[in-house]
């Protein structure tokens, strides 16, 4: 059971709702993922389009735990503004806080992120902070009041997988709040490898939405997360630089 900011979730997989080819495909993929948490973005209503109904029209407002993000924000002030707007929608006090520092890599601006975390935590927000895989930043975010820290596996939407297992393990080992790896997984083996590091969960979007068959990939991700978690809990055997036979070395024929 995953618990973040006093809220319990049955799945360790959290999924985004962006980039799907159709709403129907999105709904079926989320269902297949087994996730109870979906992220959403705050954007202007398009007043020139009568059919701009917003995602809740398709998703339903009570089926999933809605996690509003501050995607697209490049400063602490902007992110705080978006977080407040998201909270006013009235679902919960949680926010997936992103403060982006670079348009090419979408890597976080950790100074802005820390600043926004301090302000929002003080306002009662449950901040889940999207950050890089830097331990010191993760520790500062926890100290600033984040209820979860979300280091990347690799850049947003890159699908490059887990670039630095050691840093992710180190962050998990040192933090008390849940560590949710956010961004970068490309396929189920990436999800499995991430979970094998002992982290509490994974948040992903593109890997499912941009798969040729998102519903099938969502199933694969659910299984990958479960497999990785089970393997972590099982405790892997040590790595050895020598071979050790699996069959008895006694009782062999002359």
Partner 1 sequence: MQLTINGSAREITAVATVEELLRQLALDPRGVVVERNREIVRRPLVATTPVRDGDVIEIVHFVGGG
* Residues labelled catalytic: 96
Q: Which stretch binds partner 1 (CB under 8 A): 80-88, 109-117, 184-192, 219-227?
A: 80-88
Concatenated DSSP letters of 113-127: HHHHHHHHHHTT-EE
- Say what angle helices 214-234 and 23-33 make with each other, to 10 degrees: 20
**Cβ proximity of 108 and 99 under 8 Å:** yes
Taking the least distance from each CB to partner 1, the nearer of 144 and 156 is: 156
Q: Does 40 bind partner 1 (CB under 8 A)?
A: yes
Which residues from 151-190 bind partner 1, rule CB under 8 A?
A: 156-157, 183
Q: Does 66 bind partner 1 (CB under 8 A)?
A: yes
Interface residue with partner 1 among 4, 42, 146, 199 (CB under 8 A) is: 42
Element containing residue 82 per DSSP (H, E): helix 76-88
Interface residue with partner 1 among 3, 10, 24, 54 (CB under 8 A) is: 54
Nearest to 218 by CA among 185, 244, 246: 185
Q: Does 201 bind partner 1 (CB under 8 A)?
A: no
For residues 222 and 224, what is the distance between their CA atoms, to the nearest angstrom? 5
Q: Which stretch binds partner 1 (CB under 8 A): 1-9, 50-58, 169-177, 234-242?
A: 50-58
CA torsion sign for 175, 14, 122, 110 is positive
Q: Does 17 bind partner 1 (CB under 8 A)?
A: yes
Nearest to 38 by CA among 231, 246, 254, 205: 205
* Cross-strand bridge partners of residue 126: 94
Q: Does 50 bind partner 1 (CB under 8 A)?
A: yes
**Cα-based torsion angle of the residue sequence 185, 188, 190, 195 in order, rounded to the nearest 10 degrees:** 100
**Cβ proximity of 106 and 83 under 8 Å:** no
Q: What is the number of residues in the chain?
A: 254
Q: Which stretch binds partner 1 (CB under 8 A): 83-91, 144-152, 164-172, 229-237?
A: 83-91
If binding means CB under 8 A, how many residues of this protein chain bind partner 1? 37
Q: Does 128 bind partner 1 (CB under 8 A)?
A: no
Task: For residue 151, report the phi and psi dihedrals to the nearest 5 degrees.
Answer: -75, 150
Q: Does 19 bind partner 1 (CB under 8 A)?
A: yes
Interface residue with partner 1 among 4, 206, 218, 225 (CB under 8 A) is: 206
DSSP 68: E
Helix, coil or strand: residue 158? coil
Q: Does 191 bind partner 1 (CB under 8 A)?
A: no
Interface residue with partner 1 among 33, 69, 131, 132 (CB under 8 A) is: 69
Q: Which stretch binds partner 1 (CB under 8 A): 10-18, 110-118, 146-154, 172-180?
A: 10-18
Which residue ranges make up the site for partner 1 (CB under 8 A)? 16-20, 26, 39-45, 47, 50, 53-57, 66, 68-69, 71, 84-86, 88-90, 156-157, 183, 203-206
């Amino acid at each position: 059971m995953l618990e973040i900011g006093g809220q319990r979730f049955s799945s360790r997989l959290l999924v985004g709702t962006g980039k799907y080819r159709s709403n129907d495909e999105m709904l079926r993929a989320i269902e297949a993922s087994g996730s109870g948490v979906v992220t959403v973005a705050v954007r202007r209503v398009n007043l020139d389009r009568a059919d701009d109904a917003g995602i809740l029209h398709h998703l339903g407002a009570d089926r999933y735990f809605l996690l509003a993000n501050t995607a697209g924000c490049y400063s602490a002030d902007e992110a705080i503004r978006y977080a407040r707007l998201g909270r006013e929608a009235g679902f919960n006090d949680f926010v997936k806080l992103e403060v982006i520092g670079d348009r090419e890599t979408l890597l976080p601006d950790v100074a802005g992120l820390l600043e926004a975390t301090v302000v929002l935590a003080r306002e009662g927000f449950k901040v889940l902070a999207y950050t890089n895989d830097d331990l010191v930043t993760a520790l500062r975010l926890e100290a600033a009041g984040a209820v979860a820290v979300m280091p990347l596996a690799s850049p947003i939407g890159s699908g490059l997988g887990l670039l630095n297992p050691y840093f992710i393990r180190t962050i998990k080992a040192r933090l008390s709040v849940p560590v949710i790896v956010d961004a970068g997984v490309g396929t189920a083996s990436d999800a499995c490898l991430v979970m094998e590091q002992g982290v509490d969960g994974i948040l992903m979007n593109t890997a499912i939405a941009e798969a040729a068959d998102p519903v099938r990939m969502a199933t694969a991700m659910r299984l990958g997360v479960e497999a990785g978690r089970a393997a972590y809990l099982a405790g892997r055997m040590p790595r050895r630089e020598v071979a050790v036979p699996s069959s008895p070395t006694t009782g062999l024929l002359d």
